[in-house]
Amino acid sequence: MYQYDKYDQAMVDARVEDFRDQVRRRIAGDMNDDQFKPLRLKNGLYLQLHAYMLRVAIPYGTLDSRQLRKLAEIARKYDRGYGHFTTRQNLQYHWIKLEEAPDILAELATVEMHAIQTSGESIRNISADQYAGAAADEICDPRPWAELLRQATSFHPEFSYLPRKFKICVISSPADRAALRWHDCALRIVRNEAGEEGFEVYAGGGMGRTPFIAYKIRDFCPAAQIFSYIQAILRVWNLHARRDNIHKQRMKILVHDLGEEEFRRQVEEAFEHFLTLGTDFPQAEYDRIAAYFAPPPFETGLPEEIDRTDPDFALWVDQQVIAHKAPGYAIANISLKPIGGIGGDVTAEQMEVVADLAKRYSFDDVRVTHAQNLVLPHVRKIDLYAVWEALREAKLADANLDLVTDVIACPGLDYCTLANARSIPVAQKIQQRFADMDRQRDLGELKIKISGCINACGHHHAGHIGILGVDRKGTENYQLLLGGSGAEDTTQAKITGPGFDEDGVVDAVERAVECYRTLRDPGERFLDTYRRVGFDAFKEAIYG
């Protein structure tokens, strides 16, 4: 994985001092909170219901054991002994003191980590396929490009006070495991007919109040020119976006207002201009970065067989283990969705267990997924049993990847000032309703995503079943949505009808699920059946 050189290190060290000075000026009264807010947000510091929340960047969702241990140490020292992995592959601490935030950043900087641009109207932490470098279906590892773009978009002088947030995602597989087209700028690495590497570019995606799926703005951008293309997109948006209504300032709104063709025309014009400025990083810099992502020294001649004698282990293998591109290896997914737990939450002790396992069994490599789970990307098949036993000991061996209990949920009204309703208790009740493992497996892939407000951090627009918490006359109310997808078959979920109370929405989910079970053809997922039979049959089942 990437390692900082003296320049990268100086940059994060300077940022720590920069932020320390901003906090000092705020505490001294040299700045009011209106002035301080955008500055702290650019460093991932939110004021929530009970305390400050600090969002730590995990670029392209990749960590090593040293970093994960540091995250555990910070959780113990500055928080309440746990952290929360988010739908942007980041980690949040929810119980932070303002005056300690600079010290936390200083601790992060010792392990080449930071909180730069994890919030605010800036270019956010870049997300990527969590199986990068391990997936059998990838063209190449997308992370060198993600790292190059991390540097290119950090402290960008022109694009640090944008109309709104701007999210970039990079993948290089036909399968989409990263909710690609729900991003403002979505990049898929492809090869053209000449075999040259480049990017299929999508623009204008986003969830929130006005969801849009990104449209393909360019079939092929030569890889070496991608930074110019992204800057062109940013410049058109920065100059022409509305600035009078925060709900209408995301790029998706400008794309919609101008129309896809006109937006493309303006971007192409700006792109031609950027190409003349010499801002693209040279091949030598890409090569330097890519060297850090060279494949680990995979052993050869390893056995492919997995001893399935232990039925609990066999179940975990069936659900959590994915094919790896190297013979004898496997990708092991770690569920952070125990029944009745808080999805994405991990204790300091659990972080240390995962760090140990990564170090010992996975070339010191851990990944975070947008579905709020973890991954050990490179495990020898002969080691899977030992990994599973250690995970079981740490209560991390749930076997529910992509099943009905693998619920994505935002922190909701339990933590967040923006929320209208709680998300966590709804996720827990759904998990309890469907806790039976045979039932879960019988239902197969079923992605439930819950947001506690219209901002959609819980990705409800992309849920096979989505749930949106709203405030209705002072009581929490939940809308049910169906048919969304954040995969390569991206679709936007559709609102079914009137909302429900907390228990009511769990019942409604069960009615939708039973409708699927009744109507499904062999081999069909929930989403497939929904698409085949249509919305009305499900609506009828839900509302009667």
Residues forming the site for another protein (CB under 8 A): 5, 7-8, 10-11, 14, 17-18, 21-22, 25, 30-31, 35, 38-39, 121, 151-152, 154-163, 235, 238-239, 243, 273, 277-279, 281-282, 284-285, 288
The nearest distance, CB 5 to another protein, in angstroms, is 7
The nearest distance, CB 144 to another protein, in angstroms, is 13
Alpha helices in 299-375 (DSSP H): 311-320, 348-361
Nearer to another protein, 151 or 455 (CB): 151
d(CA 391, CA 366): 14
The nearest distance, CB 15 to another protein, in angstroms, is 8
Joined tokens for residue 297: 């020294």
The nearest distance, CB 264 to another protein, in angstroms, is 19
Nearer to another protein, 157 or 523 (CB): 157
The nearest distance, CB 7 to another protein, in angstroms, is 5
Nearer to another protein, 17 or 196 (CB): 17
Q: Which residues contact 207 (CB under 8 A, 6 or more apart)?
A: 182, 455, 456, 459, 460, 461, 462
Joined tokens for residue 415: 């933590």
Nearer to another protein, 238 or 492 (CB): 238
Nearer to another protein, 236 or 487 (CB): 236
The beta-carbon contacts of 412-416 under 8 Å, at least 24 apart in sequence, are: 412/450, 412/451, 412/452, 412/453, 412/458, 412/469, 413/49, 413/452, 413/469, 413/476, 414/49, 415/48, 415/49, 415/50, 415/53, 415/94, 416/48, 416/49, 416/452, 416/453
The nearest distance, CB 398 to another protein, in angstroms, is 40
Give the Å distances, CA to CA, from 238 to 163, 164, 249, 513. 6, 9, 10, 44
The nearest distance, CB 241 to another protein, in angstroms, is 9
Alpha helices in 241-365 (DSSP H): 251-258, 260-275, 283-292, 311-320, 348-361
Specify the DSSP class assigned to residue 138.
-
Nearer to another protein, 157 or 522 (CB): 157
Give residue 120's Cα distance to chain centre.
17
Nearer to another protein, 41 or 334 (CB): 41
